[in-house]
Structure 1
């Protein structure tokens, strides 16, 4: 049985929200595994993704071109609220059907994209700020094949880096392989 995107997102949100809530203001300038983002920039990016993918679920236009700054006021609460709205948007009947977005991708693929962003960036933020993060194994099971399928397009668009080489014989977890696929060192430390 295929898990719905909204159920997968709900599980991912349950793990991401505590990470975001656990980020102290004095950590916002810290580096992350995403070399182009510090913690503040990555939070801004992730919130923009969460908001835009709500629109995509509803077959509305999304604006990824404009830089947005969300890390002011109660940004932790806003993240939790917007993440809950993301789950609700993908739970609407028909959200996973047809195509969505300007690229005309299948809606389920678009849902898998935000699931990947939410899960991988929660790991990025946890790792950058010294927190623990363990994704739901069911989410990881969905991400492995879906991100592998998206990887060539994601690399071409500069969304993924080149695959990170895992040491031969290394006992890598399924999530370590997902991280490596996106160009991340699963053992990255600040």
Structure 2
């Protein structure tokens, strides 16, 4: 927990800043995450923040509601919930150790941050430690992620590509995607 919270916070704050940078006229733009336009992507991460907050408090999974435009606030509540040691204890209703769930969050923040930045023309340089952790976790969970629909088919990237490009390719994103 102690070494993960700073990484979670940095990745979350970076994505929250990207959300704050989205203009209303950009909400309908396509993203590299094929099933989402910008508005749907923000709605998705709003729900993920709400769900992860509930899981940290040992509450039920939540259902996704409509776009609310409050991701930064939800993300802060989620981080506050995970800052408590008891959030990391036990097993989730997904069958994963609670201590594993923040890794899922990190993958979402790093990758969906890129999705959002790429779709809206914002600068994005993910935290190197967050990328390394997300890649390590995704390497282990990629098949389960594909089975559950969270990851797409792999996209080929050169072996000497930067770690972030390799992460994107691993989970089904084309690092060369443009709107």
Please report the TM-score for the alignment, with normalisation by the length of structure 2: 0.94
1:12-57 Cα deviation digits (max 9, x unpaired): 1221111101101001110000111111111111100011011111
Q: Is 1:5–1:108's contact at 8 Å kept on the other side of the alignment?
A: no
Greater relative contact order (Cα 8 A, min sep 6): structure 1 or 2?
A: 1
Q: Deviations over 1:99-148 (max 9, x none)?
A: 12x22201121111111112211110000000111111111111111111
Q: Secondary structure at the match of 1:132?
A: coil
Query: Normalised by the size of structure 1, how large is the TM-score?
Result: 0.89
Structure 1 consecutive aligned stretches of length 4 or more whose deviation exceeds 3 Å? 2-5
Counterpart residue number, 1:81: 73
Q: CA RMSD in A?
A: 1.5
Q: Distance in 1 between matches of 2:78 and 2:7?
A: 11
Number of aligned positions between the proteins: 179
Q: Secondary structure at the match of 1:105?
A: coil
* C-alpha separation in 2, matches of 1:96 and 1:69: 29
Aligned partner of 2:84 in structure 1 is 92
Q: How does 1:101-140 map to 2 (within 5 A)?
A: 102-140=93-131
1:12-161, aligned counterparts within 5 Å? 12-63=11-62, 66-71=63-68, 75=69, 78-100=70-92, 102-161=93-152
Instruction: Return 5+ residue gaps in structure 2 as ranges.
Output: none
Which stretch of structure 1 is more off in the superposition, 26-35 or 5-14? Answer: 5-14
Q: Is the 8 A contact 1:5 1:90 kept in 2?
A: no
Distance 1:83 1:4 in 2: 19
In 2, Cα distance between equivalents of 1:54 and 1:152: 26
The aligned residue for residue 187 of structure 1 is 176
1:69-105, CA deviations, whole angstroms, 9 ceiling, x for partnerless residues?
A: 124xxx2xx21111111111111012222212x2220
Alpha-carbon distance in structure 2 between the residues aligned to 1:143 and 1:68: 27
Assess if the C-alpha contact under 8 Å between 2:40 and 2:67 holds in 1.
no
Cα distance in 2, alignment partners of residues 43 and 20 from structure 1: 7
Q: Is the 8 Å Cα contact of residues 32 and 115 (structure 2) preserved in structure 1?
A: yes
Structure 1 residues not aligned, in runs of 5+ = none
Instruction: Provide the rounded CA distance (Å) in 1 between the counterparts of 2:64 and 2:15.
Output: 22
